[in-house]
Amino acid sequence: MKVKVYIYGLCDVFYDGYYIQGIKELYKDFEFNISKFPEFQEETFAFIIEDDNYSRKIIIDSIDSAQIDLMGLEWCDVYGKVNYNTDSLPAKDYQKIVAIGPSFGVKIWNLFETLYHWAFNFIRFKNSIVNKRGFAANYWRQYKRFRLNKYNLTESSINEVFFLNSIWKKENETNNNRALFIETCKKNKNIDFEGGFVSRSNGDNLGYDALIYSKIIPLKTYLKKLKNSAFVFNTPAVLSCHGWKLAEFLALGKAIITTSHYNKLPADLINEKHLLYAETEEEINKAIEKLTTDSSFKRKLELESRNYFEIYLTPQKVIKRLLENK
């Protein structure tokens, strides 16, 4: 019997298209389905691999929170968790949970494929789709992203730094860390800094108005500037999660300055091997000096960050690790 792959038909193809990409690379063919699955919360990402002698039920939980979906945990054989935190583990079945690390939004279909899958799945599952507008929007948002192969290691600037990030209403620590990095860069005469915060849609920038970046740039320009940036800055985002940016930075092979992570990764990111940890203005300045004066060290970080991505975080590697977990 040929291996059959079934993906839960109400999944969010924008947030979890990354994992569909991994399934595509490994199995080529798959089927969207809801009859083989329980009535999950809409946008749960679940899939089943089966043949005559084998069946494996997988959940991938990419939500910002470290909380576990107990229904999904009970149903599955393996539960992949982006924001894995031992403080939030349930008393039962926690052995099923695997830390898979961060992902990000990628384009997995061309325009025709996007419209085909959206229309076909909408017609088949429309009676089960709660948010029909959101269901359609996620297919379009997926199409507006870049293919994974656009995220590659390239030559970066010596001293040009680009940084652009959001202000979150309830995430004071995230906002303060980002503000500290912006302010530190602006004061550093050895770098040419561009960027700041993106203005909030309601105009309430929570006291960070002086750090707002007024230009609106398309995603293509953003990615180009990010690739050129001498280094980048990461800090845990909403609910202390591994944000998309960490995965993007590793995929791009960037030299990363970061604050400490709250959630577990598939393998530790080691200071001065994969990236540089910095919590204070003094530590950030020290990291900046190291990266702008020691080109061989910076290149080593870039190669190691990309290497980490290739070993642990590519879509195919994530799916393989979940299937191999016993």
CA distance 75 to 65: 20
Compute mean pLDDT per 10 residues along the chain, 326 residues long, and list them.
Answer: 92 97 94 95 90 92 94 96 92 92 98 98 96 97 98 97 96 98 97 97 96 95 98 96 97 98 97 98 98 98 98 98 87
Give the SS3 label for residue 78.
strand
Q: What is the pLDDT of residue 326?
A: 64
CA angle (232 as vertex; 275, 308 as ends), nearest 5 = 40
Model pTM?
0.96
- Between CA 197 and CA 200, with CA 199 as vertex, the angle to 5 degrees is 120
DSSP string, 288-308: HHHHHH-HHHHHHHHHHHHHH
pLDDT of residue 154: 96
CATH 3.40.50.2000 domain extents, the chain: 160-313
- CB neighbours of 236 closer than 8 A, spacing ≥ 6? 173, 174, 242, 243, 259, 261, 262, 263
The fourth-level CATH superfamily of domain 160-313 is Glycogen Phosphorylase B; (3.40.50.2000)
In whole angstroms, give the CA distance from residue 324 to residue 310: 17
Query: What gap in Å lies between CA 4 and CA 317, rounded to an integer?
Result: 19
CA 211, CA 217: separation in Å to the nearest integer? 17
Q: What is the pLDDT of residue 216?
A: 92
Per the CB < 8 A criterion, the answer to whether 316 and 26 are in contact is yes
Specify the pLDDT at position 1.
62
Which pLDDT score, from 0 to 100, does residue 52 have? 82
